[in-house]
Structure 1
Amino acid sequence: MSTILFELGCEELPPKSLKPLRDALQASVTEQLNEADITFDSIKAFAAPRRLAIQIQGISDKQPDRTEQKRGPAIKAAFDAEGNPTRAAMGFANGLGIDASQLTTISTDKGDYVGYEQTIHGQATTELLPAIFQTALDNLPIAKRMRSGASRNEFVRPVQWAVLMQDEAVIPATIQGHETGTQTRGHRFHSPDYHNIAHANDYEQLLAGLKVVADFDKRQMLIKNQVKALADEVNSDAIVPQDLLDEVTALVDFPIALRASFEPRFLQVPQEALISTMQADQKYFCLTDKAGKLQPYFIFITNIESKDPNQIIEGNEKVVRPRLADAEFFFLQDQKQPLFALTESLKNRVFQDKLGTIWEKSERIAKLSAFIATLMQQQGRDISIDETVRAGILSKADLASSLVGEYPELQGIAGTYYARLNNEPEAIAASLEEQYLPKFSGDVLPQTQIGICLALADRLDTLVGIFAIDQAPTGSKDPFSLRRSAIGILRILIEKQLPINLVALVEQAIRGYSDTEGSKIAKMGDTFTQVMTFLNSRYRAMYTEQGVSVDTIQSVQAINPHMPLDFDQRIRAVQAFSQLPQASMLADSNKRVANILAKSATVVADTVDESLLSEPAEQSLYSSVHQAQMAVTPLLENADYTHILQTLASLDEPLTQFFDGVMVNSEDDALKNNRLALLKQVRALFLTVADISELQL
């Protein structure tokens, strides 16, 4: 058992790709070792700006020997009447390099054959490793490979050196065009020369002395701890997005965190703009107070242990100042006119070639938002129709602002700032940012009533318009993010407890295009059908992500409820029902009922003739159904689906006894039709909630 060390030294690797490259390298090597039946105790991957490495400890020296059974021709063809080997047997033996006398008999269900058990000796691990590592490098997820100089070898960056060792010895090989050795290089500035690795176990410790923290996760933890310590010194919290943290970790070998500051006057600018430019352009960690308000500090990570850190701090402060000044300029420039004035330029900005301008979209959003607000008012919600219309008209105004032009991610956010500066009502101002929520899976939803209206209207308008011009999502292509928009619509209606019918919303959204001068929707009926189908198809993606089983979703989709809130209530009821002890039997019984009714050659009556109920089991079922109908009626009025299914669980025993003791397809047509009518009532009861025959319990 020994230790293997592999290191590929390169020019600085792409920082956003370093962590995925590390993980892919380790996964590929692990998979190949397992396939080759080479055992090991542990495997660890390292990744730093100029290197990818793998250290494997407790690895076996060779593959285990294995026995392989070779099967030749049938016994009848292998030996003649005197028992002598035929040419077929001789040829088989010669191919294996053995004498025909060494052949054995293999018995199978198709007869006896000649055969031979051959021992395959395992290869030495050191013979297999060069190909394993080269294959792993070849399979790395690199979008675009490059060549360096005259070399024909391709990699993400020029390769400088390669290490491949078993304990203290080199494993001779050529990897990425470089002869393997035992020499590595340290920090580019602190320790640029080559250094010999005495033993494969010494790798991490040696590099630490050369100012390289090779372990990506350790380096990241060092950064997090240093950033927190510096933030605590000024009683602040650091904003540390994981993507930014990964990128910064990939940029440095030897992380040293320093805190710098900027002029407090810049804090008048929307903090989202300042944070955006400091994170995206400078890779800084911004600081906020405990209430989340930006502070005039930032923390950056340097890769050099400087004798005079103040010079580095002053240099970063000098670099960031013009960027913050640009944001300040754009912010002040936009304030020279009210937010509403910016809407004028939207009349010349195209939303989509076939769907008109952004101004026309704003008008449609305003009308659709007013429609939704009216429905919400009818449900007792406190919302102003006039303010909703005003918010709809202003919803896209900030797209014409200088600030959003420079920082597109501030759409909506900038509008909220400008609306407040213009003394627009707070309900309007807050809604301008909320219209874009949720932005991603699991994101927060709009909190204000007007924000909910805008968020729904914006998504519905885009959804209807794009389907109307035949640009629906296909495969992995979804340029308008319609799948995410559809789930956003469903989440808002469900989580905000809005009992609003999707049919009404989609029809109103289509009407918004039809009401404009020169309708942009040619086939309104087709568009409605396609959009409704698309929205209904999103339930599965949304609920499976929450851990709901597919059969539960299908059981509700089978009855096609058009109200997302109602759909969700049914899902929760079926989930609860699935846990009942009677659920499995009732699901099977419902399948049986559905099959019997489907095979009926005549139209099944809705009512049951009680006088024709001759068998005790059908009388009992009829009585139980009647009681269930009485109990379900008030529950259905309150959409209490969970209690409805709990009530219907009482039909388990009567249904079982019915199928055990009653012949449904009686020769007497009157009896048969009456029994079918009884089963129809049973099925109708369950279909008030879901088609539980879809459940796989």
Structure 2
Amino acid sequence: MTKNYLLEIGLEEMPAHVVTKSVEQFAQRTEKFLKENRISFNSIEKFSTPRRLTIFVKGIADKQTDIDIKAKGPSKKIAQDADGNWTKAAQGFARGQKMTPDDIFFEELKGTEYAYIQKHEDGQKVEDILSHMDEVIKSITFPTRMRWGSYDFEYIRPIHWLVSLLDNEEVPVKVLDIKSGRMTRGHRFLGEDIEIDDAKNYVEKLKSQFVIVDASVRKQMISDQIDKIAKDNDWDVDVDPDLLEEVNNLVEYPTTFYGSFDKKYLEIPDEVLITSMKDNQRYFYVRDQNGELAPYFIGVRNGNSEHIENVVRGNEKVLVARLEDADFFFKEDQKKTIADYVEKLKSVNFHVKIGTMYEKMARVHQIAEHLADIFDLSETEKKDLLRASDIYKFDLVTSMVDEFSELQGVMGEKYAEIMGETKAVAQAIREHYMPISSEGALPKSKVGAALAIADKIDSIVTFFAVDLIPSGSNDPYALRRQAYGIVRILNQYQWSLNFDGLQNYLEDNVTVPAKLDLSKHTKDIDDFMIDRVRQLLKKDKIRVDIIDAVAGGSNVDPIVMIDVAKVLQNHVSDDDFKIVMEALGRIVNLSKKAKFGYSDDLTVDDSLFENPSEAKLKEQVAKINNDNAEDLFKQLAALRPTIDSYFDENMIMAKDEKVKNNRLTQLVIANHLIANLGDLSKVITK
């Protein structure tokens, strides 16, 4: 016989962004709890509002599953003495199983007899297990937590009530001084406290008190109401899914309405209007059938339609106040020049340990000039890049960005165009922030992409220089995201950038305060960037061993590493892949015996050759080019027969010192090429 179990946690209003994740976690931890306690069930439904997290377990068993346990004890020679009497070890084993020595039997395991006890354990009633659901409630984690009263206990918000019902019977659960019952609370303003007579009636009971507990039903109500408003007014409304999710978690009973504002505010850039409506007020913005922003907005009320006209007027008043500010800032900002704003950046800190924003832009200019040559930008692109690098942070000191920080970069682009900068320069100012999230959109222009890389490189090397290095989950300056952004941009434009060479250039050519030592963490920065390449390759589902191989190679150029990983991944299924890896591996391993490393002036002396394979290996290695990973792999794979002959015919560690070193030189030169494919010893072959 199965039943239904309901557990509701009643809270003060939670932040919208934690509601969905918290109820999902609640369900996951409940599932784990039930499985660990041998309680079978059909499914778990989730319900949530800003004031409650609820799980509804359907088809829950009325008791734990019975189990038969075969417990293993000591060996027979320890369990019994020479006369066959039970030893203390056997008695202790039986006692620990809540049985007697008479229940012990012996079975052989790998040639040795051991004591065993077979026992049957009846399952407890489900009510007895569910009374411990407070463990699940307390186990839920949140991004932020608070205390209340005199308790040390921390939670997302204070708990005010609990409902715990198995069908129509209460199951006592207690958290702090809150004891569960069957009373829940309706809508804060429209509903009343109500008794849940049976778990299956939970949804309907709360609906009668103006609470829609099913988040998916609530969300659909909002979407349908927005669609109706849009159709009735011939509007086009782009329902942003993130905003819809946020609004849905702010209300218990949604009623959608629309308001308007004066057309004069449409002279403000669309981005400012959208930010005011969407980000600041949680409104959905409206476009006409021509795609132009219309002077209307759609909001969602936590309540019914009664006196909705008052709600509309109040929201219009709040929005117009913000638009008035935006209009004022927009006009005032244009009274100054870009040069005025750049000058103000001399007194704005980038970071107190590093210097000002003005100084950062000067460094980025130097980095950008170097990157322009590496990336082979045209003269026009280079000119635009350098101009953008001189001014790209200017909007940080405008009134608009001071009030609407979400618009940094966006207003820089708008003001730059208004003040006569080229479209490419203006676009780069906006794009240098991209990507603004781990998998966010990338710059669409080469100038913007190069500026974004230069800016992020400066941030990484300067923060590392003052020992502000990410550790564990601590990354307050989002350096991991910025480094991953660099790798993604390089990959998008297929730009090669060796970080070893780049750091050497920065140390010698970029002007930094004397307190900044850019050479301090060169290896750490290399490893930091390699980890970001790992991140990209994992996302692309490259095999872990191949990722380890390219990460362990000699190259710190993300594009080369990515290309090599893809080449190895494409060839692992080749029939001869294993024997190719083994042949190249022999060169890698034996080259380590050389007491010298690779250098461009290493030469092989033909006069010391004793076998034809030595000359053949030299000839073939000399023809190998390293233009791209695919060609390199094929050329190295083609060496396999020669490598086999070479090792069959030649003793590498010959008694003649000159012959030995000559052969080791051949291997070191070949290994230098192989190293461009990474550390092949990490590639798993079958």
Establish whether TM, by shorter chain, passes 0.5.
yes
Question: Secondary structure in 1 aligned to 2:473?
Answer: coil
Q: Could you tell me how far 1:434 is from its partner in structure 2?
A: 1.6
Structure-2 separation of matches of 1:612 and 1:253? 87
Work out which of the residue numbers 448, 451, 454 in structure 2 matches 1:454.
451
Structure-2 separation of matches of 1:434 and 1:663? 59
Q: Could you tell me how far 1:193 is from its partner in structure 2?
A: 3.6
**Equivalent residue, structure 2, for 1:168:** 168
**Cα separation, partners in 2 of 1:235 and 1:543, compared to 1, 3 Å:** farther
Structure-2 separation of matches of 1:296 and 1:428? 31
Question: Secondary structure in 2 aligned to 1:53?
Answer: strand
Query: Counterpart of 1:432 in structure 2: which amino acid?
Result: I
The C-alpha deviation readout for 1:161-215, integer Å capped at 9, x for no partner, is 3322222323344455344333434333443241433x32232243334432212
**Equivalent residue, structure 2, for 1:423:** 420
**Cα separation, partners in 2 of 1:541 and 1:71, compared to 1, 3 Å:** closer
Residue 642 (structure 1) aligned with residue 630 (structure 2): yes
Q: Could you tell me how far 1:354 is from its partner in structure 2?
A: 3.7
Question: Secondary structure in 1 aligned to 2:304?
Answer: coil
Work out which of the residue numbers 491, 494, 518 in structure 1 matches 2:488.
491
Query: Counterpart of 2:302 in structure 1: which amino acid?
Result: N
**For structure 1, which runs of at least 5 residues remain unmatched after alignment?**
none
CA RMSD of aligned residues (A): 3.6
**Equivalent residue, structure 2, for 1:18:** 19
Query: Counterpart of 1:137 in structure 2: which amino acid?
Result: I
Q: Percent identity?
A: 30
8 Å contact kept, 2:555–2:678: no
**Equivalent residue, structure 1, for 2:37:** 36
After superposition, residues 467-482 of structure 1 pair within 5 angstroms as 467-482=464-479
Q: Could you tell me how far 1:30 is from its partner in structure 2?
A: 0.5
The C-alpha deviation readout for 1:307-337, integer Å capped at 9, x for no partner, is 4533322222122110111111111121122
8 Å contact kept, 1:256–1:304: yes
**For structure 2, which runs of at least 5 residues remain unmatched after alignment?**
none
Structure-2 separation of matches of 1:529 and 1:291? 55
Query: Counterpart of 1:436 in structure 2: which amino acid?
Result: Y
Query: Counterpart of 2:610 in structure 1: which amino acid?
Result: L
Structure-2 separation of matches of 1:533 and 1:88? 54
Question: Secondary structure in 2 aligned to 1:346?
Answer: helix
Stretch deviating more after TM superposition (251-260 or 684-693) = 684-693
8 Å contact kept, 1:164–1:172: yes
**Cα separation, partners in 2 of 1:581 and 1:680, compared to 1, 3 Å:** farther
Query: Counterpart of 1:125 in structure 2: which amino acid?
Result: V
Structure-1 separation of matches of 2:372 and 2:276? 37
Structure-2 separation of matches of 1:93 and 1:688? 63
Q: Could you tell me how far 1:691 is from its partner in structure 2?
A: 4.5
Work out which of the residue numbers 672, 682, 686 in structure 2 matches 1:694.
682
Give the TM-score normalised by the residue count of structure 2: 0.87
Q: Could you tell me how far 1:418 is from its partner in structure 2?
A: 1.2
Work out which of the residue numbers 383, 391, 395 in structure 2 matches 1:394.
391
Structure-2 separation of matches of 1:93 and 1:563? 64
**Equivalent residue, structure 2, for 1:196:** 196
Residue 306 (structure 1) aligned with residue 305 (structure 2): yes
Residue 432 (structure 1) aligned with residue 433 (structure 2): no
Stretch deviating more after TM superposition (216-225 or 259-268) = 216-225
Q: Could you tell me how far 1:75 is from its partner in structure 2?
A: 5.5
**Cα separation, partners in 2 of 1:126 and 1:569, compared to 1, 3 Å:** same
Structure-2 separation of matches of 1:116 and 1:691? 53
**Equivalent residue, structure 2, for 1:218:** 217
8 Å contact kept, 1:4–1:164: yes
**Cα separation, partners in 2 of 1:629 and 1:284, compared to 1, 3 Å:** same
**Equivalent residue, structure 2, for 1:444:** 441
After superposition, residues 48-63 of structure 1 pair within 5 angstroms as 48-63=49-64
Residue 548 (structure 1) aligned with residue 542 (structure 2): yes
Structure-2 separation of matches of 1:136 and 1:337? 59
**Cα separation, partners in 2 of 1:416 and 1:25, compared to 1, 3 Å:** same
Structure-2 separation of matches of 1:563 and 1:102? 68
**Equivalent residue, structure 2, for 1:606:** 604
Query: Counterpart of 1:140 in structure 2: which amino acid?
Result: I
8 Å contact kept, 1:464–1:510: no
Q: Could you tell me how far 1:40 is from its partner in structure 2?
A: 0.9
Aligned residue pair count: 678
8 Å contact kept, 1:464–1:509: no
8 Å contact kept, 2:555–2:676: no
Q: Could you tell me how far 1:597 is from its partner in structure 2?
A: 2.9
8 Å contact kept, 1:105–1:114: yes
Question: Secondary structure in 1 aligned to 2:295?
Answer: strand
Structure-2 separation of matches of 1:388 and 1:79? 86
Query: Counterpart of 2:574 in structure 1: which amino acid?
Result: L
Q: Could you tell me how far 1:17 is from its partner in structure 2?
A: 1.8
8 Å contact kept, 1:586–1:652: yes
Query: Counterpart of 1:317 in structure 2: which amino acid?
Result: E
Q: Could you tell me how far 1:628 is from its partner in structure 2?
A: 7.3
Work out which of the residue numbers 584, 589, 596 in structure 2 matches 1:595.
589
Query: Counterpart of 1:548 in structure 2: which amino acid?
Result: I
Structure-2 separation of matches of 1:232 and 1:460? 49
Structure-2 separation of matches of 1:643 and 1:344? 52
8 Å contact kept, 2:349–2:356: yes
Q: Could you tell me how far 1:360 is from its partner in structure 2?
A: 2.3
**Equivalent residue, structure 1, for 2:135:** 135
Q: Could you tell me how far 1:283 is from its partner in structure 2?
A: 1.6
Question: Secondary structure in 2 aligned to 1:253?
Answer: coil
**Equivalent residue, structure 2, for 1:327:** 326
Structure-2 separation of matches of 1:46 and 1:237? 31
Stretch deviating more after TM superposition (153-162 or 48-57) = 153-162
Structure-1 separation of matches of 2:592 and 2:565? 25
Structure-1 separation of matches of 2:23 and 2:269? 38
**Cα separation, partners in 2 of 1:163 and 1:526, compared to 1, 3 Å:** closer
Residue 318 (structure 1) aligned with residue 317 (structure 2): yes
Give the TM-score normalised by the residue count of structure 1: 0.85
The C-alpha deviation readout for 1:351-405, integer Å capped at 9, x for no partner, is 22343322222233334333433555xx362525554443222212111111111
Structure-2 separation of matches of 1:524 and 1:257? 56
8 Å contact kept, 1:8–1:161: yes
Query: Counterpart of 1:59 in structure 2: which amino acid?
Result: I
Query: Counterpart of 1:319 in structure 2: which amino acid?
Result: V
**Cα separation, partners in 2 of 1:532 and 1:75, compared to 1, 3 Å:** closer
**Equivalent residue, structure 2, for 1:277:** 276
Stretch deviating more after TM superposition (329-338 or 230-239) = 230-239
Structure-1 separation of matches of 2:289 and 2:162? 48
